[in-house]
Amino acid sequence: MSIRDNIAEVAGSIDMACRRADRSAADVQLVAVSKTWSADHIRPALEAGHRVFGENRVQEAQQKWPVLKDDFPDARLHLIGSLQSNKTADAVALFDVIETVDRPKLARAIASEQERQNRKVDCFIQVNTGEEPQKGGVAPNDAGPLVALCREEAGLNVVGLMCIPPADEEPAPHFAFLRKLAREMGLNALSMGMSADYPVAIEQGATHVRVGTAIFGQRR
Ligand SMILES: *Cc1c(COP(=O)(O)O)cnc(C)c1O
Q: Which of 7, 33, 215 to mutate to test the pocket of ligand 1 (most atoms within 8 A of CB)?
A: 33
> Angle of helix 39-47 relative to helix 3-20, nearest 10 degrees?
60
Amino acid at 16: M
* Contact between 117 and 89 (Cβ < 8 Å): yes
Cβ of 150 below 6 Å from ligand 1: no
Position 187 scores a pLDDT of 98
Cβ of 35 below 6 Å from ligand 1: yes
The protein residue with its alpha carbon nearest to ligand 1, atom 4, reads 212
Cβ of 189 below 6 Å from ligand 1: no
| Residue 32 DSSP symbol | E
**DSSP structure string for 48-114:** TT--EEEES-HHHHHHHHHHHHHH-TT-EEEE-S---GGGHHHHHHH-SEEEEE-SHHHHHHHHHHH
Phi-psi region at 69: left, alpha or beta (left = phi > 0; alpha = psi -120 to 50)? alpha
Question: What is the 29 CA–ligand 1 centroid distance (Å)?
Answer: 15
Residues of the chain where predicted confidence (pLDDT) is lower than 50 = none
Position 1 scores a pLDDT of 84
Question: What is the 116 CA–ligand 1 centroid distance (Å)?
Answer: 31
Amino acid at 204: Q
Q: What are the residues whose beta carbons fall under 8 Å from the beta carbon of 89, sequence distance 6 or more? A: 113, 116, 117
Cβ of 163 below 6 Å from ligand 1: no
Position 204 scores a pLDDT of 98
Cβ of 30 below 6 Å from ligand 1: no
Helix, strand, coil share (%) of the chain residues, nearest 5: 50, 15, 35
d(CA 68, CA 41): 11
d(CA 211, CA 198): 8
Position 8 scores a pLDDT of 98
> Angle of helix 140-148 relative to helix 171-185, nearest 10 degrees?
30
Q: Which atom from ligand 1 is nearest to the alpha carbon of 198?
A: 9
Cβ of 56 below 6 Å from ligand 1: yes
d(CA 175, CA 58): 26
Q: Which atom from ligand 1 is nearest to the alpha carbon of 80?
A: 13
The protein residue with its alpha carbon nearest to ligand 1, atom 14, reads 80
Position 75 scores a pLDDT of 98
Position 70 scores a pLDDT of 97
